[in-house]
Structure 1
Amino acid sequence: MHLSRRQIVLGALVAGTFAGTPLRAQSGRLSVVATTGMIGDAALRVGGDHVEVRSLMGAGVDPHSYRQTRTDIQAALRADIVLWHGLYLEAQMEEFLLKLGQRGTAVPVGENVPRQERIAHEDYVDKFDPHVWMVPQLWAYVVNGVRDALSAAAPERAQDFAANAAAYQAELTRLGEYAKTTLATVPPSARVLLSAHDAFGYFGAAFDFDVIGIQGISTESEAGLSRIRTLVDMLVERDVQAVFVETSVSDRNVRALVEGAAARGHAVRIGGELFSDAMGEPGSYEGTYIGMIDHNVTTIADALGGRAPERGMQGRLAAAS
């Protein structure tokens, strides 16, 4: 029987033949691999000087379609702990991550969000919309999951992890208050958020916006011509003035909508680029979770007729080009 390379790697993983040397033995710090940048950022904030964090998916990477590379596999197998989102976000990596979980080294921290707070997935039975990071109040549950996972891996550092998490939670509370206050300045009739895929469901529920994605919750779904025509009709009928592109999804469908509306005599502009499934560039303010959400809230409010500080909550957003 012929086995694919993927089957061989997964089989070896179960057998434990790729154990490697844990990186903690080399540095004294807890070696953490995170799938997404948002989780990696939380691990850095909670772990502080006690962790070394590597995020597999960088700026502009779509986690719905991402597949682990050989380098990713090696890093994950040598890590003390792997933090992944779950909720079917890393759909193409799920088999690998579940195998790691059987070894006790992988934790799906996104599933720390209570079931009653989750939105049902539109395409898959008994699965949920994974985009919980769009609301700071929900992301706080994930931060607690990171804290607990790090504490289980390094119990001697649990007190420090708890203190760091508490300080970070205070920042998330402030961010949530900024989002609520700023987005409330958008006129109710203008609270229509249309973007490339349906990543803003939690955002809409929390801040009273009608959210429309050209594609579904997963970017693996496709938008046909009938979907585009239906959305053009909606833009015209509701007099929507701005739509949004996303950093991790092609803007092709959004631009098709703008062109379709123009053909109907209705001018719609692109209100800005939002961070949906990935943060900004490493080293930038937008390359942190707080900067990511600050950018989104400020951009949406400004584009849809609300009032927002030009450089965001902390005056740190990049200047508009």
Structure 2
Amino acid sequence: MKKIILLSIVFLAISSCKKENQENGKLNIVTTTTMITDLVKNIGGDHINLQGLMGSGVDPHLYKASEGDVTKLVNADIIFYNGLHLEGKLVEVFEKMESQTKTPIALAEEIDKSTLIGSDYFAFNYDPHVWFNIAYFKQFAKKVTQVLSEKDPKNAENYSENEKQYLIKLDALQENIKATIETLPQEKRILVTAHDAFNYFGKNYAFEVVGLQGLSTATEAGVQDVQKLAAFIIDKKVKAIFVESSVPKRTIEALQAAVKSKGHEVIIGGTLFSDALGNAGTIEGTYIGMFEYNVNTIVNALR
């Protein structure tokens, strides 16, 4: 019933709502995840009005749009979202908007599907956590620049320059990450987390990645899953496992307890930022800072 009511609100809002004029004449941009919000902020700078729907610690897999969110979406000139079913509960809202000539832009649709990681749990779907491949995030940056420039050609040169400077920073991030990870022996590169958010990271940096839950946090881990992973940790002599900021830590604590019940010890190596950035104003509150923080946390705990 709530879903029907919300979709009705979307239809009525799109049909009857007149976009409020912005006194500053800037584009109204709405984004979903904190990673995309940070990206668009870097490219758009002071030339856009930017509103992100999700905040720090928010799980995009489970996020539901409020009536206030619908108003933001309807009044937006451009909507950027991840796609690949990451924002699962927003998909119907976006589809409704598409049918009314407003087309939200799924940035992950720019990626060559043949290079994506498939899902063992959902047929014909892909792992949506693509931002953990920095090369993919660079593609996001290019797409955002293209769209902003087409919508606001008078500031196209500024968007292009901002993209250029941001790509330089992403190049530096790649080099720093590689150097840090190279200090960790290959046999210690086993990353155990709350859910499968780090597969692209593992693929790029030769980590064996194991998540207690599946690609979506909507998939619950059962007792057998915990026991099986506990046995894996003991067999592989994994030193540390990790909590995620957007996933309740009880799942990892249950895993730690299961390992202990078998007469072994594994520490919780820290909290990683997977589906959301950290608080605004902190190092982890930016994409680049989050990535560096995660890698330092992982390497220090496993080493």
TM-score (norm 2): 0.95
Are 1:133 and 1:139, in contact at CA under 8 Å, matched by a contact in 2? yes
- Structure 2 residue ranges without an equivalent (≥5): none
**Aligned with 1:152: secondary structure?**
helix
**Aligned with 1:175: secondary structure?**
helix
Alignment correspondent of 1:35: 32
Matching of residue 18 in structure 1 with residue 25 in structure 2: no
**Aligned with 2:23: secondary structure?**
helix
Alignment correspondent of 1:308: none
Are 1:110 and 1:145, in contact at CA under 8 Å, matched by a contact in 2? no
- Structure 1 residue ranges without an equivalent (≥5): 306-321
2:86 aligned partner, one-letter code: L
Q: How does 1:300-315 map to 2 (within 5 A)?
A: 300-305=298-303
Alignment correspondent of 2:124: 126
**Aligned with 2:88: secondary structure?**
coil
Matching of residue 57 in structure 1 with residue 57 in structure 2: no
Counterpart selection for 1:92 from 89, 92, 103 = 89
Alignment correspondent of 1:216: 214
Alignment correspondent of 2:66: 69
Quote the Cα distance in structure 1 between the aligned partners of 2:265 and 2:44: 48
Report the CA distance between 1:165 and its aligned residue: 0.7
Quote the Cα distance in structure 2 between the aligned partners of 1:268 and 1:18: 55
Alignment correspondent of 1:309: none
Report the CA distance between 1:29 and its aligned residue: 1.7
Alignment correspondent of 1:278: 276
Matching of residue 6 in structure 1 with residue 3 in structure 2: no
- Post-superposition Cα deviations, 1:201-253, rounded to whole Å, max 9, x if no partner, equal 00000000000000000001011101111001001111111000000001111
Are 1:191 and 1:208, in contact at CA under 8 Å, matched by a contact in 2? yes
Q: How does 1:118-267 map to 2 (within 5 A)?
A: 118-267=116-265
1:112 aligned partner, one-letter code: E
Are 2:9 and 2:67, in contact at CA under 8 Å, matched by a contact in 1? no
Report the CA distance between 1:105 and its aligned residue: 4.4
Counterpart selection for 1:295 from 277, 284, 293 = 293
Alignment correspondent of 1:114: 112
2:35 aligned partner, one-letter code: M
Using the aligned pairs only, state the percent identity.
37
Are 1:135 and 1:176, in contact at CA under 8 Å, matched by a contact in 2? no
Are 1:137 and 1:173, in contact at CA under 8 Å, matched by a contact in 2? no
Quote the Cα distance in structure 1 between the aligned partners of 2:167 and 2:258: 43
Report the CA distance between 1:284 and its aligned residue: 1.7
- Post-superposition Cα deviations, 1:263-303, rounded to whole Å, max 9, x if no partner, equal 11211000110000000001222111111101101111111
**Aligned pairs, how many?**
301
Quote the Cα distance in structure 2 between the aligned partners of 1:201 and 1:90: 18
- Post-superposition Cα deviations, 1:175-207, rounded to whole Å, max 9, x if no partner, equal 111111111211111111000000000000000
Quote the Cα distance in structure 1 between the aligned partners of 2:211 and 2:220: 11
Quote the Cα distance in structure 2 between the aligned partners of 1:100 and 1:146: 20
**Aligned with 1:122: secondary structure?**
coil
Quote the Cα distance in structure 1 between the aligned partners of 2:7 and 2:287: 35
